[in-house]
Amino acid sequence: MNTAPAKRQRSRAFLTVFLKEVKENLRDRRTLISAFLTGPLLGPVIFVMLINITLNRELDKAEKPLPVPVIGAEYAPNLLDALRAGGVVPGAAVADPALAVRKQDADVVLRIASDYGKAWRKGEPVQVELFYDSSQRDANTSVERVTRLVESYARQQGAMRLVARGMSPSTAWPLQVARRDQATPQSRAVLMFAMLPYFFVITIFMGGMYLAIDLTAGERERQSLEPLFANPVPRWKILCGKLAAIGVFSTTSLLISLLAFAVIGQFIPAEKIGMELDLGVHFAAYVLLLMLPLVLLLSALQSMVAAFAKSYREAQTYLSLLMLVPIIPSLLLSFMPIKAQAWMYAIPLLGQNLGIMQLLRGDGVSAGQIGLCLAGTLAAALVAILATIQLYRSERLAISA
């Protein structure tokens, strides 16, 4: 009996399944919107818009006239003049300064004691009070601005007192600290874009999620998985065809996202606050290289999790919970800053996170770090694929009930 046609049929199974799933899901509006519009296009636009709003708000508070309620303004007219010269607009006094800042009626309130003038004339130390709420992030720029002006005025007046007594102003400061900030304009951008690696991971996840659900739980619910398994084709080839289709959608989603950031990122006024941001071709190429093995890993995990579900909706619930896992490395690096070690690049998700952060800082990623990242993630992807193959060998997978 000639088995050559059967062998050729089995060898084409991977390509057949791949093309079938891609063509069918290209007609699925929900899959297309999730993979090519919502995450990769709208995501970068919203992300950049939020960054621009934050930067513009900080620039406004750092440069534009700043209204500050002042209690006891009549006791320190010279201090008020110094504040006006720095762009502060003294406002009417408020009855309860603590309540005013808590209710966000004012970012900061300045209170000058009634004995200010008497202590000043005696050459005694005087004190002014700044009321603010440190839990209000929007107020931090205003507080720092007023504090800097008050302290500058204090140093200036202290120097004048020493000169009036025939002493050098440097007498009061026998020790001076020279601060040498080694941060580059590009490395400072990391502070604002710390969640960008997580965004890329979620873009990959969303790009293939609905496809992974439809190709496993969806077909199981429609009872079309059993006829597919009835073909004389190894199930691992069927799985590989499905994984390839999911990977194509996820990779395309990532490419669209990288292109969107490269274009929209040019409209971020990072240079106005001393930052430099490069999201161009060089950045995109390295991100794509770091993320490609993660595409395979997430595709396998999504397929494996969806295989446990008996319905489309149940698979959505499971994968929504799985979506929380990629945020863990970003949270760890945000709340527990650590020095990157070589072995960390071999950990999936964490390695990609560290690599992208280095790219944002302008430090670059070495060949060794890239190799560890690729090897570690590919090894995890292989384990996930083997586990999913075992699920595909189960006859219960084709049963919807």
The answer to whether residue 90 scores a pLDDT higher than 80 is: yes
Q: pLDDT tens-digit profile of 235-266?
A: 888 888 888 889 999 999 999 999 988 888 77
- What whole-number distance in Å separates Cα of residue 293 and Cα of residue 374? 6
pLDDT at position 300, please? 92
CA–CA distances in Å: residue 87 to residues 44, 58, 74, 147: 35, 15, 19, 13
Q: Which amino acid is at 329?
A: P
**Is 70 exceeded by the pLDDT of residue 299?**
yes
- Could you tell me which of 305, 301, 310 has the C-alpha nearest to residue 217? 310
Kindly state the tokens that stand for 333.
């690096």
Q: E-strand spans in 92-246?
A: 108-112, 128-132
DSSP string, 116-127: HHHHHHTT----
CA dihedral in degrees (15, 17, 20, 22; nearest 10)? -80
* Mean local confidence (pLDDT), 120-133: 84
The dihedral sign for the CA sequence 283, 285, 288, 292: negative
**pLDDT tens digits along 32-88:** 676 676 667 777 777 777 777 777 776 666 678 888 999 988 988 888 898 898 888
Query: Which two structure tokens, joined as six digits, stand for 137?
Result: 């992030």
Nearest residue to 279 (alpha-carbon basis) of 263, 300, 293: 263
CB atoms within 10 A of CB 158: 14
The pLDDT tens digits of the residues spanning 195-234 come to: 788 889 889 988 888 888 888 877 777 777 767 776 777 7
Between helix 140-164 and helix 77-85 the angle, nearest 10°, is 120
Q: What is the mean pLDDT of the chain?
A: 81
User: Predicted confidence band at 285 (pLDDT cuts at 50, 70, 90)?
Assistant: very high
* pLDDT greater than 70 at residue 10: no
Q: According to the model, what pLDDT value does residue 399 have?
A: 63
Chain centroid to CA 293: 20
Tokens of 331: 């949270």
Asked if 239 and 392 count as a contact pair (C-beta separation under 8 A), the reply is: yes
Separate counts of helices (H) and strands (E) for the chain:
17, 4
pLDDT of residue 13: 66
Query: CA 55 to CA 35: how far, in whole Å?
Result: 30
CA distance 324 to 178: 44
Task: Indicate the Cα dihedral angle 331, 332, 335, 339, nearest 10°.
Answer: -140
pLDDT at 62: 63
Which of left, alpha, beta for 362 (phi over 0: left; psi -120 to 50: alpha)?
Answer: left
Inter-residue contact 208 to 32 (CB < 8 Å): no
Quote the tokens at residue 118: 């008497």
DSSP-assigned letter for residue 128: E
C-alpha distances (whole Å) from 367 to each of 199, 251, 289, 374, 393 are 24, 22, 11, 10, 38
Kindly indicate the confidence band of residue 1, based on its pLDDT and cuts at 50, 70 and 90: very low
